[in-house]
Every structure is written in C-alpha cells, then in structure tokens.
Amino acid sequence: MLILSCILIGIVLGFGAGKLAHSANQGILTDMGVGAIGAAIGGGAYSTFTITGAALYTTYSLLAAATGAVILLLVCHGVYYAITHSSDQTNPPKAH
C-alpha cells in the first residue's frame, strides 16, 4: 500500500512539474511517469535503509518519495534542456 501512495505522490508532483515548467515538448504524461518512478525510487530507498515501525515511518517514506520525484524531475528537465539547447553552440560568435 505504501508503494502505491508513493507512486500517487509522484504522479501528482509530475503533473504539477509539467504545468509549472510548461514542458509542452516533453509532455505531461512523461513528467507524471518520471515523477512516479522517482517517487518509487525515493520511497523504496528510504524503506530499505531505515528501521520500520511507527506511524512516522509512513510520513517520512512519503516525504522521501516526494524528494525522489522532485530530484528525478529536475535531472530529467535539466538533461532535456541541455540536449535541446546544445544546438545553439553550432555557430559560436567569432572572437575579435
């Protein structure tokens, strides 16, 4: 059940990131998928490396899932931006 909650958080954060970044080229569905993957990685990593137990465990796992989603979304948007804007350097200005 926790992994489904993590994935749902990732989908919501991915949707929000797509709207915030106006990523018409990447697409909202791509952002939602990347957010879900990042959330699953973040939540899974947290649950793997911590001791299970109290109700705070779930809260911190969901926070870790949100952090994983945000980090993966930032990386993907940065890589996409670098790839799409690398063609701007094909004709650099001449030095005088």
Cα→Cα distances 80→19, 43, 47, 67, 87, Å: 16, 25, 30, 20, 12
Domain borders along the chain are: 2-84
18 Cβ contact partners less than 8 Å away, ≥ 6 residues apart: 26, 27, 28, 30, 31, 32
With cut-offs at 50, 70 and 90, classify the pLDDT of residue 82.
Answer: confident
With cut-offs at 50, 70 and 90, classify the pLDDT of residue 91.
Answer: low
**Interval 12-38 mean pLDDT:** 78
With cut-offs at 50, 70 and 90, classify the pLDDT of residue 94.
Answer: low
Q: pTM for this one?
A: 0.73
Assess whether pLDDT exceeds 80 at residue 24: no
